[in-house]
Amino acid sequence: MGAGHAHRLYRHGHSPVHALPPHTKLAAAFAFVVVVVSTPREAIWAYPLYAALLGAVAYVARVPAGFLLRRLLIEVPFVAFAVLMPFVAEGERVQVLGLSLSVNGLWGAWNVLAKGTLGVAASVLLAATTELRALLLGLQRLKLPPLLVQIASFMIRYGDVITDEMRRMRIARASRGFEARGVRHWGVLAKSAGALFIRSYERGERVHLAMVSRGYAGSLPVIDEVTASRAQWSYALALPLSALAVCLLGWIL
Amino acid sequence: MDPVTAPVPASAPTSGTAPGTAPEAAPGPAASLEVSGLAFAYPDGHQALFGVDFRIERGERVALLGPNGAGKTTLVLHLNGILTAGAGTVRVAGLPVDKRNMAEIRRRVGIVFQDPDDQLFMPTVREDVAFGPAAAGLRGAELEERVDRALERVGMREFKDRPPHHLSFGQRRRVAVATVLAMEPEILVLDEPSSNLDPASRRELADILRSLDVTVLMVTHDLPYALELCPRSLVLSEGVIAADGPTAELLADEELMRAHRLELPFGFDPRSVAVQSPRSAQSAQFV
């Protein structure tokens, strides 16, 4: 499915993880994140264990560490916020390298950093091993409201079309000597964005017309039914279940 | 406003003169499309159609010609009930277009819109072609077979799993035709089928359309294309059918053409085209 069309996060392969039905992977990734988030932050030893679990998945999926780490960079802007926390949080303070840091803030930063990184890593792994199209089928299978699935599906279909339209508008502007060189030119860019919005809106109307003409009555027909065997579910759920064991230990110890 | 002044033949044009007219233009079954007294005004008061009458027999290929703003698109949107007539009726194979039969009407009338990017809205070619039949309730192997057959007919079967935006424009137009063929329509309505196509894609599409065993109504400005594919033409002008007759005769009538802002491309002489053999017409078109 979707040969020749791969989104940038996807990494083509034939590993056992790639082969799992999309909805089992979605459920597993979501459950894993929930388990990680509900782990007490004081159980520091639990987090390397979680990371090791993800590492094992990456190994089975044959996703190289470099690939995974590069994709993790998306997290950086959020991390910047976490780094601020020890400086601004209230409460008891400790001296580290001559800086006065809040203990609460340190715990908070650690909490955000560890859980966020694990969540992003799980998502990156999911995206690297599942095609966009399959993700949509999985969401549909997991009974996400059909309207949301439709919106996501149209985003994928028309993303390139609209980007292309934007590119043509930029070329048309440049051909008439326009160059955005500062705040004074933002007005022109804003008008372009407005025009793009209206064009997209009108395209939406035409697409709707085409859909209605082919019998659309509010819901997209389910053309591909994805199914998973018991064994496939158990492979997929191995990840969140082992994580759950770690989490429970974290609460008990 | 004006009543229909042009002579309207009661039935299909003289059979046998043209390829594409179904040999079994039997008088028995209802016409593929029957439009009578169709009038329509937009909510803002602009009246687009003033009593349109015509009839298309099963298996005919008819061109609908007319200048911009003649009401061609408005007419097309009445054929499958997107717009509802202010007065008059539209019947598809005998079935009137109204709220009760809407699902069946939309299955019977296959409209191919001008921009394939509007028509192809699903993530892959296969799913797009499957959309219509699946909406009608088809599933599984039957659906798969329907998709394969439709793609086969437009020569796009090996592109089944591609996303539409990775195809060339001509290929997308062909897939758009397949999405409609998959619904096994009574009549295929094409809005400007040759627009934006390079000459090779244009010829490929003509070959495909000629090979289909289905009634075709082709809305176009492209007069040579109409002559090549459609033995009969209708001229829609200012909301009425101004002329209805064999395409070659209409195009040769300079006065009629001028009166309705229809212009032949430079150097094109419809009288020099051998309509019987469209392939040789390709090379002999321009004198």
Whether residue B101 lies within 8 A of chain A, CB to CB, comes out as no
Mean pLDDT value across residues B137-162 = 92
A88-116 average pLDDT score: 82
Q: What is the mean pLDDT of residues B105-116?
A: 92
On the question of pLDDT at A93 being above 60, the answer is yes
Same domain, A232 and A200: no
- Amino acid B23: pLDDT: 43
Nearest Cβ partner for A210 among B113, B130, B162? B113
Distance CA A199, CA B194 (A): 23
Q: How many domains does chain A have?
A: 2
Note whether residue A118 is domain-resident.
yes
Surface of B (182-211) touching A: CB under 8 A:
183
According to the model, what pLDDT value does residue B3 have?
43
Interchain CB contact of A136 with B (< 8 Å)? yes
State the nearest Cα–Cα gap between B58 and chain A, in angstroms.
21
Considering the domain boundaries, does residue A162 fall inside one?
A: yes
Say which of B82, B123, B161 has its CB closest to residue A153: B123
Tens digits of residue pLDDT in A169-186: 888 888 888 877 878 888
Q: Which pLDDT score is estimated for A153?
A: 87
Domain that holds residue A116: 16-139+227-252
Pair (A131, A247) in one structural domain: yes
Q: How far apart are CA A150 and CA A148, in angstroms?
A: 5
Same domain, A48 and A161: no
Indicate the pTM of the whole model: 0.77
Contacts of B114-117 with C-beta under 8 Å, sequence gap 24+, read: B114/B191, B114/B192, B114/B195, B115/A206, B116/B164, B116/B169, B116/B172, B116/B173, B116/B175, B116/B176, B117/A158, B117/A161, B117/A203, B117/B164, B117/B165, B117/B172
A20 and A118 share one domain: yes
Q: Are residues A244 and A182 in the same domain?
A: no
**Is B131 in Cβ contact with A223 (below 8 Å)?**
yes
Q: Which residues of B touch A215 (CB under 8 A)?
A: 103, 106-107, 131-132, 135-136, 183
The answer on A149 and A50 residing in a single domain is: no
On whether residue A201 sits in a domain, the answer given is yes
CA distance A4 to chain B (A): 7
Q: Kind of pairing, strands B33-41 and B109-112?
A: unpaired
Residue B73 touches partner A, C-beta closer than 8 Å: no
Is residue A38 domain-shared with residue A119, that is, in the same domain? yes
pLDDT range class, residue A7, cuts 50, 70, 90 = low
Question: How many CA atoms are closer than 13 Å to the CA of A147, on its beta-carbon side?
Answer: 1
Q: Is B84 left (phi over 0), alpha (psi -120 to 50) or beta?
A: beta
Do A124 and A172 share a structural domain?
no
Q: What is the largest CA-CA distance in chain A?
A: 71
Ordered domains of chain B (ranges, CATH): 59-69+109-230+238-284 (3.40.50.300)
Asked whether residue A99 is assigned to any structural domain, the reply reads yes
With CB atoms and an 8 Å threshold, state whether B161 touches A3: yes
- Any CB–CB contact under 8 A between A40 and chain B? no
Mean per-residue pLDDT for B208-235?
A: 94
* Residue A94 sits in the same domain as residue A36: yes
Which residues in A lie closer than 8 A to residue B115 (C-beta atoms)? 206
Nearest to B106 among A2, A136, A214 (CB): A214
A131 and A150 co-located in one domain: no
DSSP state of B6: S
Residue A1 lies in a domain: no
Mean of pLDDT values over B135-161: 92
Report ipTM (2 d.p.). Answer: 0.75
pLDDT at B13: 43
Tell me the shortest Cα–Cα distance from A118 to chain B, in angstroms: 31
A3 domain residue, yes or no? no
Q: Which residue out of B74, B101, B118 would a mutagenesis test of the A interface target, given it has the greatest number of A Cβ atoms within 10 Å?
A: B118
Q: Does A5 touch chain B (CB under 8 A)?
A: yes
Position A55 pLDDT exceeds 90:
yes
pLDDT at A168 over 50: yes
Tokens (6 digits) for A154: 């149209």
Same domain membership, residue A117 and residue A203? no
Provide CB contacts within 8 A for A110, sequence distance 6+: A41, A44
Q: Tell me the residue length of chain A.
A: 253
Asked if A203's CB is within 8 angstroms of B162's CB, the reply is: no
B117 contacts on A by Cβ (under 8 Å): 158, 161, 203
Give the pLDDT score at B275.
56
Q: What is the pLDDT of residues A231-240, one digit of tens each?
A: 888 888 889 8
> Does residue A10 lie within any of the structural domains?
no
Residue A156, in any domain of the structure: yes
**Are A237 and A123 contained in the same domain?**
yes
pLDDT at residue A155 in the model: 87
Position B5 confidence tier, pLDDT thresholds 50, 70, 90: very low
pLDDT at A30 over 90: yes
Interchain CB contact of B161 with A (< 8 Å): yes
* pLDDT at residue A225 greater than cutoff 80: no
Task: Measure CA of the first residue to CA of the last residue in chain A; give whole Å.
Answer: 47
What does the pLDDT average to over A53-64? 91
